[in-house]
A and B are shown apart, each in its own frame.
Chain A
Amino acid sequence: MNKRLPIGLAFVLLVLPCSLLVAFTHYPALRALANSFWNNGSSRRPSKFVGWDNYRAMMEDDRLAQVLANSAIYALGTVPLAIGLAIGMALLVNSKLPATGLMRLSFFMPTMLPMVAVANIWLFFYAPGIGLASQILSVFGLPPINFLGSTDTSLASMMVVAVWKEAGLFMIFYLAALQAVPANLKDAARLEGAGHVRVFFDVVLPLLRPTTIFVAVNALINAFRLVDHIIVMTRGGPNNSSALLLYYIYEVTFAHRDFAYGATLTVLMVVILGAMAAVQFWILDRKAHYQ
């Protein structure tokens, strides 16, 4: 029942998780915020307060502009694609077709692989000349494409990898949601004269909406959070064409060792993610309430 904890014990129980949260989340975030107002120090020249200088530099950073554009395209492309593919696969796997068990396994497999392993598989797939993609093209008599080496295709190639890796996980959520759709709702719609397509769009899809919102939030976060494949496959290239925000932060901070500017970019990223989370929760509050 509602027995009260002794105040001392409650304090101890609270302090432990709170200190972890502070040490690894709040303190670094605040520290990044503070660092973004200082310049880089060295052994001879200690860092000093520079006010908004880093932010002014950020506004004039052409590379950042391209990276942000890339990130936007990447997010707007991968999220709907992964959701659409996940719904399609879930419908397939939930159907009365034979071998759905095998399909389930093969659709889910990419999710279980670490991103670095996925990146390796796709490196082979994209390899110019010898890769599977090139061989498929040559079967149709098309010229080979250097998927990762061309500024036209590198970002799209990265998006394909991300969708391939993520859709399987989202399929599981949709599969669970599909199986929770009451069969008699579909029957009722059928009796009223709805065909399969109508039943899906009128009855099933609206009932999947809470799942879709949940999946969209996760996919969007992942679009900003997962950059392992870019580090492994393209290093943001060629000519920044596949660089995403988090990859850019990584490069600035650890390759160029520009900690001050890295901190400034980190603040930008936190602001973007926070704004997106706020919008999504606002939608979630308004739209996801039946039952």
Chain B
Amino acid sequence: MTQAGVSLEVRGIRKSWGPVEVLKDVSFGIEPGGFLTLLGPSGCGKSTLLRLISGLDEAGAGQILIGGRDVSGVSAADRNLGMVFQNYALFPHMTVAENIAYGLRIRRVSKAAKQKALARVAELMALGDLLDRKPAQLSGGQQQRVALARVLVSERPLVLMDEPLSNLDAKLRVEIRSEIRALNKKLGITVVYVTHDQSEALSMSDSVVLMNAGRVVQHGTPMELYRTPATVFAASFIGTPPTNLLDAADVRPPGDGAAGLPADLAGCIFGVRPEALHLVVPGAAGRADFTASGRVAAVEYEGSVFLIHVETPSGARLVLSHSGAEVPQEGDTITLGWDRPATHLFSKETGTAIPVSA
């Protein structure tokens, strides 16, 4: 089964529901066969955007190009794409086989071809024994696989998925996640995947479009999003636990002065990931470019690491992901250090990143 993917480009899309503008000038693109994730908090407009791409709703302004062709005015049925809905949208009165073959039936595919396509997809998704069941007689994971099979059987070059794993338990989610990724690689179909789970986005995607309040905040590879967050929002949304945000007043700059840092440090917010922080023990060897001190407010045991919550004198909270042998106790006053490359600076005014030269 070889089905080459198509490219997708979204240009300056706007959409309003009544007086509320839900999408404000959204643009991004994806190569054929790519796996792009739309990531963002609940209500930021991800589903709305997906429905616009699929043609189920109409955009207020902007262009959508599928395979280089502007599809405004092309109906949902003619856009040649498949969609996996958030809660599967399986037809409850049809068997699994009827559900999967529904699109083929509508397109009057011959019976023999239908049987062949059905058998192939059923094997691919391991649904062989379930074909005669009704959706209500399936587990969540099985329903999920039927929904995927229904999209795959039509051999669409572009597949949209709206939080398809949100109803599954953690173990199944990881399993199906890798199954989806494998299908994308194996079949070469282009996938647009919606989620509000940042770890899901980072683990699966070729590229991630991070959205907030109807705008694209950042578009890049998972690594770019993690390493160089473009705004305070991107820094705080990606990574668990989220990036620590510190006022300049709480930070002691390096002993060699503030070379390479912006002149107006007071107008900056420092961002440091919990895993980039380490304990600075007085007198011991090891150095840090930046340090901050505070009182340990809580210690959480996470298995591989301890999460140590620290309260600075100004009242800000920091989280340190600590894997050392010596664990500070609640109430201790400790000093945390981190290095220059791990430092993200953001403008207090605009929230956007300020480059830090090494």
Contact = CB atoms under 8 A, between A and B. Distances in A.
Query: From DSSP, what is the main secondary structure of chain A's interface residues?
Result: helix
Interface stretch (A64-72, A77-85, A190-198): A190-198
B267 interface: no
Interface string B180-210: 0000000000000000000000000000000
Contact of B56 (A182, A187, A207, A290): A187
20 contacts: A184-B85, A184-B89, A187-B56, A187-B85, A188-B91, A188-B150, A189-B91, A190-B77, A191-B81, A191-B82, A193-B77, A194-B106, A198-B106, A202-B91, A203-B91, A207-B92, A209-B93, A290-B134, A290-B136, A291-B136
- Residue in B87, B106, B136 with the greatest tally of chain A CB atoms within 10 Å: B106
A182 B89 CA distance: 8
B103 A187 contact: no
Given A184-B86, A184-B87, A291-B92, A191 B136 contact: no
Using C-beta atoms within 8 Å of the partner chain, give the interface range for chain B: 20 to 34
Contacts of B244: none
A291 B154 CA distance: 27
A206 interface: yes
Contact of A290 (B83, B87, B93, B107): B93
B76 interface: yes
Nearest to B156: A191
- Residue in A182, A188, A193, A202 with the greatest tally of chain B CB atoms within 10 Å: A188
Given A184-B87, A191-B77, 19 more contacts: A185-B91, A187-B85, A188-B85, A188-B91, A188-B150, A190-B76, A190-B77, A191-B76, A191-B83, A192-B77, A192-B154, A193-B77, A193-B107, A198-B106, A202-B91, A209-B93, A290-B93, A290-B136, A291-B92
Given A184-B85, A187-B85, A193 B103 contact: yes
Nearest to A207: B93
Given A191-B54, A191-B83, A192-B77, A185 B89 contact: yes
Interface of B: 54, 56, 76-77, 81-83, 85-87, 89, 91-93, 102-103, 106-107, 134, 136, 150, 154
A110 B272 CA distance: 71
Nearest to B160: A191
Interface string A195-229: 00010001100110100000000000000000000
B89 A188 contact: yes
Contacts of A290: 92-93, 134, 136
Given A207-B92, A291-B136, A188 B83 contact: yes
Contacts of B86: 184
Interface in A23-58: none
B320 to A, nearest CB: 44
A182 B86 CA distance: 12
A198 B103 CA distance: 12
- Residue in B81, B87, B92 with the greatest tally of chain A CB atoms within 10 Å: B92
A190 B103 contact: no
B113 to A, nearest CB: 16
Nearest to A194: B106
A192 B92 contact: no
Nearest to A291: B136
A6 to B, nearest CB: 43
A166 B106 CA distance: 36
A192 B89 CA distance: 12
A288 to B, nearest CB: 11
Contacts of A209: 93
Nearest to B79: A191
Contacts of B102: 189, 192, 202
B172 to A, nearest CB: 21
A33 to B, nearest CB: 43
Top 3 closest pairs, chain A to chain B, by CB: A192-B103, A193-B77, A184-B89
A187 B47 CA distance: 13
A190 B56 contact: yes
B56 A192 contact: no
Nearest to B75: A190
A187 B136 contact: no
Interface string A171-195: 0000000000010110111111110
Contacts of B134: 290
A191 B56 contact: yes
A187 B77 contact: no
Contacts of B87: 184
Nearest to A182: B89
A187 B89 contact: yes
Contacts of A182: 89
- Residue in A191, A202, A206, A291 with the greatest tally of chain B CB atoms within 10 Å: A191
A192 B55 CA distance: 12
A290 B92 CA distance: 7
A286 to B, nearest CB: 14
A114 B231 CA distance: 68
A182 B93 CA distance: 13
B93 A192 contact: no
A184 B47 CA distance: 12
B313 to A, nearest CB: 52
Nearest to A186: B89
- Residue in B83, B89, B154 with the greatest tally of chain A CB atoms within 10 Å: B89
A202 B102 CA distance: 10
Nearest to A198: B106
A189 B91 CA distance: 9
Contacts of B83: 187-188, 191
Nearest to A203: B91
Contacts of B56: 187, 190-191
